[in-house]
Amino acid sequence: MDLAEDAIKFAIFLVDADRLFDVALGLYDFGLVLMVAQQSQKDPREYLPFLTELESYPKYYQQFKIDDHLCRYEKALKNLSLAGDEYFDDCLKYIREHGLYHSATSIFANNNEKYKSVMTIYGDYLFTESNFKEAGLAYILAGDKPKALDSYKNCGSWREAFAIAQELNSSSDSLFNLAQSLAEILSDKRQYQEAAQIILDYTKQPEESIILLNKGRHWTESIRISHMYNRTDLIETNIKPNVIEGIINHTLYTTFTMVNIAYTMAFNIGHTQLLQDVNSMLDQLNQQTNRLKEIRANKANQLISDPYQNDESIENVDTFSDTSSMASGFTRYTMSNTQLSMHSTRSGKSAKSRRRQERKKARGKKGSIYEEGYLLDSLKRLIERFNTTQVEILNILNCLVTFGYIKRAQQIQVLFSELEERIKNILDEIFDTPTNNLPVTETELESDETRKVEKPILVQLNWKLQII
The DSSP line for 149-198 is HHHHHHHT-HHHHHHHHHHTT--HHHHHHHHHHHHHHHHHTT-HHHHHHH
Position 318 scores a pLDDT of 42
Is 238 contained in some domain? yes
Separation of alpha carbons 246 and 240, rounded Å: 10
Say if residue 404 is in the same domain as residue 384: yes
Domain around 233: 171-247
Is 428 contained in some domain? yes
Is 373 contained in some domain? yes
Say if residue 425 is in the same domain as residue 285: yes
Separation of alpha carbons 172 and 152, rounded Å: 19
Position 319 scores a pLDDT of 38
Say if residue 230 is in the same domain as residue 275: no
Position 326 scores a pLDDT of 37
Is 143 contained in some domain? no
Position 211 scores a pLDDT of 94
Say if residue 215 is in the same domain as residue 228: yes
Say if residue 187 is in the same domain as residue 284: no
Say if residue 285 is in the same domain as residue 406: yes
**Residue 151's closest CA among 134, 173, 171, 169?**
134
Say if residue 367 is in the same domain as residue 428: yes
Position 14 scores a pLDDT of 59
Say if residue 294 is in the same domain as residue 410: yes
Say if residue 177 is in the same domain as residue 280: no
Is 272 contained in some domain? yes
Is 118 contained in some domain? no
Q: Cα separations (Å) of 160 from 194, 198, 222?
A: 13, 12, 25
**Residue 447's closest CA among 349, 362, 367, 361?**
361
Say if residue 401 is in the same domain as residue 436: yes
Contact 274, 253 (CB under 8 A): yes
**Residue 152's closest CA among 166, 133, 139, 125?**
133
Separation of alpha carbons 186 and 196, rounded Å: 9
Separation of alpha carbons 317 and 329, rounded Å: 8
Give the per-residue SS3 of 77-107. Answer: HHHHHHCCHHHHHHHHHHHHHHCCHHHHHHH
Say if residue 191 is in the same domain as residue 288: no
Separation of alpha carbons 357 and 342, rounded Å: 15
Separation of alpha carbons 372 and 270, rounded Å: 37
Which residues have C-beta within 8 Å of that of residue 218, sequence separation ≥ 6? Answer: 192, 193, 196, 395
Say if residue 262 is in the same domain as residue 236: no
Is 150 contained in some domain? no
Q: Is 217 helix (H, G, I), strand (E, B) or coil?
A: coil
- Give the count of domains, the chain: 2
Position 357 scores a pLDDT of 55
Q: How far is C-alpha 348 from the geometric centre of its chain's CA atoms?
A: 27
Per-residue pLDDT of the chain (468 residues; tens, 9 = 90+): 565 555 665 566 556 767 888 888 999 988 888 888 777 777 778 788 989 999 999 999 999 999 999 999 999 999 999 999 999 999 999 999 999 999 999 999 999 999 999 999 999 999 999 999 999 999 999 999 999 999 999 999 999 999 999 999 999 999 999 999 999 999 999 999 999 999 999 999 999 999 999 888 888 899 999 999 999 999 888 888 877 665 544 344 444 443 333 333 333 332 234 335 434 545 666 677 777 878 888 887 877 766 555 444 444 444 344 444 434 443 433 444 444 444 444 444 566 555 555 555 555 566 677 788 888 888 888 888 778 878 877 877 787 787 778 887 787 777 777 777 777 877 777 777 655 444 444 444 444 444 567 888 988 888 888 877
Is 98 contained in some domain? no
Contact 164, 158 (CB under 8 A): no
**Residue 457's closest CA among 380, 390, 377?**
380
Separation of alpha carbons 219 and 212, rounded Å: 10
Q: Cα separations (Å) of 196 from 88, 183, 192, 205?
A: 47, 7, 6, 9
- Amino acid found at 250: H
Position 465 scores a pLDDT of 86
CB atoms within 10 A of CB 152: 26
